[in-house]
Amino acid sequence: MGWAPGLVFLGGGLLLGQVQPAQAELLYRLETRCSLQGAAPVPCTVEAIEAGEATIYRHRIAAGQAGDRVETVRISAKPVRMARWVQASKTFVALERAAARFSTNTVCFNGTDLCVVNPNYLNSVRQANGSATQGRDLVRVHFGADGRIDASCYDAGCAVGQP
């Protein structure tokens, strides 16, 4: 499944802690950079794991260093939903928003709560949605209380209705 279906719907019908799915298959492992709460990016490892009807993205931030942290995002395709694992409650909680910037290969969740450089994901989005993403740089989505997409925008259109 990969991230492609997640962002496929991100643009207008297109755009872990210790979570271990029962039937899981590692799709890829990527050494990259991540940031939390808008801080400077640090080394991280992303594992994309196929888990039935969803793909789990486990981000091990500052991997191998004292105080490393794990952030997990689950993307379901039917219907498209994105959720973040909350270790304290041991549940997935629906995201409020997500954004992708193709020029920097960056995907961010809930503003800058978690950002990751993931060219694997964005390249697959470009391949799956060539005409929808051609010439585009920024795609943003907003999720409703049920976790489903209720608004999306591209580039300058994302400024419409913003204060």
pLDDT tens-digit map of 117-135: 988 878 887 888 778 888 8
pLDDT digits (tens, 9 = 90+) for 90-104: 999 999 999 999 999
- How large a percentage of the chain has pLDDT more than 70? 81
34, 44 contact by CB (below 8 A): yes
55, 48 contact by CB (below 8 A): yes
pLDDT exceeds 80 at position 14: no
Q: Name the β-bridge partners of 46.
A: 30, 59
Mean pLDDT of 10-26: 50
pLDDT exceeds 70 at position 13: no
18, 144 contact by CB (below 8 A): no
pLDDT exceeds 50 at position 4: no
| Mean pLDDT across the chain | 81
Mean pLDDT of 34-61: 92
Lowest mean pLDDT among 8-12, 40-44, 149-153: 8-12
Mean pLDDT of 31-46: 92
pLDDT of res. 10: 38
Mean pLDDT of 69-85: 89
Mean pLDDT of 71-85: 89
List the chain domain ranges.
4-129+137-154
For residue 125, the number of C-alpha atoms closer than 13 Å in the C-beta half-sphere is 29
Q: Report the distance separating Cα 30 and Cα 60, nearest Å.
A: 10
Q: Which pTM does this prediction carry?
A: 0.79
- Tell which wins on pLDDT, 84 or 65: 84
